[in-house]
Amino acid sequence: MRFVHLHTHSHYSFMRGTSGLEALCRSVLHRGMDTVALTDTNGLYGLVFFLQIAEETGLRPIIGAEVVTPEERAVLLVKNKEGYVNLCRILTRKHCEETFMLSRDLIGMNQGLVILSDTLPFLKKLKGKADLYVELTGGQLNRSLLDFSKDEGIPPVATNGVYFLDPQDFHFHALLRAIDLNTKLSRLPLEEMAPASACLTTPDEMQARFPHVPEAFENTIAIAEKCVFRGDFQPAVSPDLKELDQGKPISSLRRKATDGALKRYGNMTPAVRKRLEYELEIIEEKGFGAVFLMVEDIVRQAPRTCGRGSAAASMVSYCLGITHVDPLKHNLYFDRFLNPGRKDPPDIDVDFPWDERDDILDYVFKKYGPEKSAMVANHVGFRPRAAVREVAKVYGLADNEIKQVTDRLAHLWYWGGDSVEEVVGHHPIFQGLRLHPPWPEILAWASKLLGIPRYLSVHCGGVVVAPDTLNAYVPAEKAPKGVRIVQWEKEQTEDAGLVKIDLLGNRSLAVIRDVLEAIRINTGEVIAYEGLNPLDDADTQKIIGQGDTLGVFYIESPAMRQLQKKTQRGDFEHIVIHSSIIRPAANTFINAYVRRLRGEPYRPLHPILDRVLQETYGIMVYQEDVSKIAIEMAGFSVVDGDGLRKTLSKKRNAKKLSIYREQFVRGCRSREIDMEVIEEVWKMILSFGGYSFCKPHSASYALVSFKSAYLRAHYPAEFMAAVISNRGGYYSTFAYISEARRMGLTVLGPDINASDRPYGGKGKTIRMGFMQLKGLKEKALDTVLEERERAGPYPSFENFMSRTHLDPSDIRIFIKVGCLDTIAGKRSRAELLWQTEADRQGQPDSAQISLSLFDEETVRIPSLGHYDLKTMLLHEVEILGFPLSIHPLELYRDAWETLDILPAREMENHIGKRVNMIGWWVTNKMVYTKQEKPMAFISFEDTTGLYETIFFPNTYRKYCSRFTPVRPYLLRGLIEDDLGAVSLHVEEMQFLGKRKGRGMVTRFQKLEDRALSK
């Protein structure tokens, strides 16, 4: 007996379906069926994955969706290609058009679709105009539906509206609904839930539910046989591009590339010509010319860009100005980017200054129109913190109790795929936290929630452009921000063969732009972005080699700076290596790398490795090393080598990977390579899982690193000001300000006449910008700046007040942070505040008692004196987010003054000694040891310098639950020198002083919490 489920939801029916696609497909097979229709609510969100999994498991997939509007509801199943296009169109309309009405829109667009519904008016409207069925769900004895089916002659079909796999999953479904509707389980309206019977039933069970309408049961098979479309996307996109290409594109690409080459190289050397010809040939053969032209056109809209990814290996991109690193000079292989065997379109990704990117996107959408272009989506899934928080809220726990758990989770940036229960149960950071019922239940549910998608958001830069209409490939929606997005995230978009370009925001490009502009204003010197190629500048190389690179693009993290200190190399070639070797899974290789670089002799695992990895000391550094080694050691073809590399970076890869592994082992064995060596090399290959970089990408980025390091070395004030103003670096604003001071710069507070919106830097000083003032209304700031622009600086407080007419709450901010000190005359900040408040009360509508009650002349401003230091600092923390007048550690001076403290700048002279140090938290990074034990690298600063510490597993276990970024630390431990990088191996940790200045600490804490949750 056969039966096909034609109405099935996966967890891509957001917050309704509970099951992942893999589990769903396997359960269908397990229950004795060989076909299933995936009909997620209002979308094809998981379609590409579904088709892939179906292929892997041998299941016959039917493509479909359930379209739900307040009035109507229907399941649409795709019979053929035309039906697929129609389904995409219907779904796009559903999401993008307010006037959408399913029955009306379907009339012209139902070709190739099977329609199941139980909405009677809907069925009546479409009767005779479409391939229509009456849907009988769950076997309910719905006489009226059945009668309707008979009377109208519309055949019935049996479904179960599946939302979960097993009956007991109903609770999970209810939980999802409660989270989605922001309510509690006991108040969940019945109509918002699927019935408890909506599980994946077996054919027998279904038959038992429909004893009275055998034809409804049989019709499922008939429908399944009609639906033959399997979504053969692969050839769907490229041929059209090829058509485009057969006309002009390749010739105009050739022309532009040649022009560009002349500009870049001056004259055409044979090597350049040969490479260019080779690349153009492949591009022509593949029909990707149009893609290059499209990107070239986009890049031309902005003067400062940085090509990322493998595209930097292409001389065509270099000549077109898409990338800026010479692939010949730096030995970048084109094959990694495009090779004759590659079928899918190449990735060409470009970075723009973060604040110019939206304009670029607008340009693209304007040029190609909403029909052809959209952005890639993100499927935002539950992460541990949100999962715990949401479940706990459904359980009705108080916020502060939930925070106890979620705040600790926030510290764990690295999540090893464990369940929430395991982590909370075993990780030392949860030590001492007693979790009473119902917590165990909550954590168990939270574990189940991990990874389940919740909603769509906009991918940070992925743009899809289709040759004809995008709707023929994928449904689109409107994101809350207003842009159109496709329903797939990056991986599915790529797998479906759509042309995707990443246009990403990059803060450092904006930093460079702002510094160059500041230099022009301050010194009159004009430096062009393209002309800035300081690869050989001695000062730049020096600071890079010393790791003095806070604020410098891409090489500012503690790990990177430690690596720089160990290697002492500041030349371009090494920076390219270093930007690639720093990746999560490569820790063990880094130290080997440093030792080899310092000349330690080593024995290569295999001579082939040594040959292939010559420039990186026999260590696999770049992504393409994986392909190269597979080719050289195991005889992979170029296509297979590339396939292996690609598979490593994908999430669902276990199966494919095991096939590649077999192929690899077989290939190596045939070359008589030892099994031990094979295992070692395979382990190295696996370390490229997650994210890793290719050499062209690193080279492209390293160039930007050099530009920004050059500016840091020669224009420190302008540079640091721009770094802070553009935000979003690795460190907090406070850390950059401390660094600026260590660089010998003076950081001045904001001033009403001297400050601008961003930070300003000149000579030896940095002037804080108004952007730092939290709570200040944007409009108020505009007024102040415009008025100053119009009629010059404000000479006095009265003048300021009368010219700007600001809201008192904004004036208060200016006063409290000292912006108005220079125009206050003899008055203190408190007295200015008094005057502001008095003015406010004096306004007729705000006070019931008018001043006329009293003799007006007697109302004079009392003398209130100046704030004490503590109040001033409190105000600074409140408004700026950190104390500016003094270092926070100074507040605790009496607690550490009498102790024997080693200042950070003298660490190098005390290697091997046990010392006490004080510290203010800068940043941290938690990692796992080989034994899967957590430990942490934490950067602290004292008043003399920034320093690194290591908390090994034992110390980490002891102290991690007390880590906080806002208290002063007293650390005791051993100073060690690891290949030139000095750090403190902490043995004991405590806090300095009592919780003095508690108000400040808590306010600081709130700010930091927000920063952490970003």
Q: Which residues bind other proteins (CB under 8 A)?
A: 182-187, 393-401, 434, 436, 812, 816, 828, 830, 833-834, 837-838, 841-842, 846-849, 851, 853-855, 858-860, 862, 864-867, 871
Considering the complex, state which of residue 202 and residue 828 has its C-beta at the smaller distance from other proteins: 828
Size of the chain in residues: 1014
In the bound complex, what is the minimum distance in angstroms from residue 1012's beta carbon to other proteins? 22
How much of the chain is helix, strand and coil, in % rounded to 5?
50, 15, 35
CB-based contacts of 809: which residues, under 8 Å, 6+ apart?
775, 777
Burial class (CB in 10 A: 0-12, 13-18, 19+), 434: exposed
In the bound complex, what is the minimum distance in angstroms from residue 995's beta carbon to other proteins? 11
The distance in angstroms from the start CA to the end CA of the chain is 54
In the bound complex, what is the minimum distance in angstroms from residue 997's beta carbon to other proteins? 14
Considering the complex, state which of residue 672 and residue 855 has its C-beta at the smaller distance from other proteins: 855
Contact 6, 219 (CB under 8 A): no
Considering the complex, state which of residue 481 and residue 866 has its C-beta at the smaller distance from other proteins: 866
Contact 773, 817 (CB under 8 A): yes
Q: Report the distance separating Cα 173 and Cα 167, nearest Å.
A: 10
Q: Report the distance separating Cα 470 and Cα 474, nearest Å.
A: 6
In the bound complex, what is the minimum distance in angstroms from residue 601's beta carbon to other proteins? 56
Considering the complex, state which of residue 614 and residue 858 has its C-beta at the smaller distance from other proteins: 858
In the bound complex, what is the minimum distance in angstroms from residue 364's beta carbon to other proteins? 43
In the bound complex, what is the minimum distance in angstroms from residue 393's beta carbon to other proteins? 6
Considering the complex, state which of residue 391 and residue 694 has its C-beta at the smaller distance from other proteins: 391
In the bound complex, what is the minimum distance in angstroms from residue 436's beta carbon to other proteins? 5
587-607 b/e (C-beta count within 10 Å ≥ 16 → b): bebbeebbeebeeeeeeebbe
Q: Which helix (H) or strand (E) holds 983?
A: strand 981-991
Q: How many CA atoms lie within 13 A of 69 on its CB side?
A: 18
Token duo for residue 476: 């689109």
Contact 157, 134 (CB under 8 A): yes
Widest pairwise Cα distance in the chain: 106
Token duo for residue 1006: 């709130």
Burial class (CB in 10 A: 0-12, 13-18, 19+), 347: middle
Considering the complex, state which of residue 867 and residue 937 has its C-beta at the smaller distance from other proteins: 867
In the bound complex, what is the minimum distance in angstroms from residue 185's beta carbon to other proteins? 8
In the bound complex, what is the minimum distance in angstroms from residue 5's beta carbon to other proteins? 34
Considering the complex, state which of residue 878 and residue 941 has its C-beta at the smaller distance from other proteins: 878
The backbone torsions φ and ψ at residue 789, rounded to the nearest 5 degrees and listed phi first, read -65, -40
Considering the complex, state which of residue 143 and residue 860 has its C-beta at the smaller distance from other proteins: 860
Considering the complex, state which of residue 839 and residue 906 has its C-beta at the smaller distance from other proteins: 839
Considering the complex, state which of residue 443 and residue 555 has its C-beta at the smaller distance from other proteins: 443
Nearest 5°: CA angle at 198, between 196 and 200? Answer: 130
Token duo for residue 946: 């920034």
In the bound complex, what is the minimum distance in angstroms from residue 815's beta carbon to other proteins? 9
In the bound complex, what is the minimum distance in angstroms from residue 830's beta carbon to other proteins? 4
Nearest residue to 684 via CA among 578, 790, 585: 585
3-state secondary structure of 763: coil
Contact 818, 755 (CB under 8 A): no
Residue with the two structure tokens 């999802």: 176
Considering the complex, state which of residue 5 and residue 454 has its C-beta at the smaller distance from other proteins: 454
Interhelix angle for 654-670 vs 675-686, to 10°? 150
DSSP state of 916: E
Q: Report the distance separating Cα 528 and Cα 519, nearest Å.
A: 11
Interhelix angle for 675-686 vs 638-648, to 10°? 60
In the bound complex, what is the minimum distance in angstroms from residue 419's beta carbon to other proteins? 24
Q: Report the distance separating Cα 421 and Cα 414, nearest Å.
A: 16
In the bound complex, what is the minimum distance in angstroms from residue 817's beta carbon to other proteins? 12
Q: Report the distance separating Cα 590 and Cα 578, nearest Å.
A: 9
Considering the complex, state which of residue 239 and residue 396 has its C-beta at the smaller distance from other proteins: 396
Considering the complex, state which of residue 281 and residue 837 has its C-beta at the smaller distance from other proteins: 837
Considering the complex, state which of residue 484 and residue 875 has its C-beta at the smaller distance from other proteins: 875
In the bound complex, what is the minimum distance in angstroms from residue 434's beta carbon to other proteins? 7
In the bound complex, what is the minimum distance in angstroms from residue 887's beta carbon to other proteins? 24
Considering the complex, state which of residue 404 and residue 587 has its C-beta at the smaller distance from other proteins: 404
Q: Report the distance separating Cα 223 and Cα 3, nearest Å.
A: 11
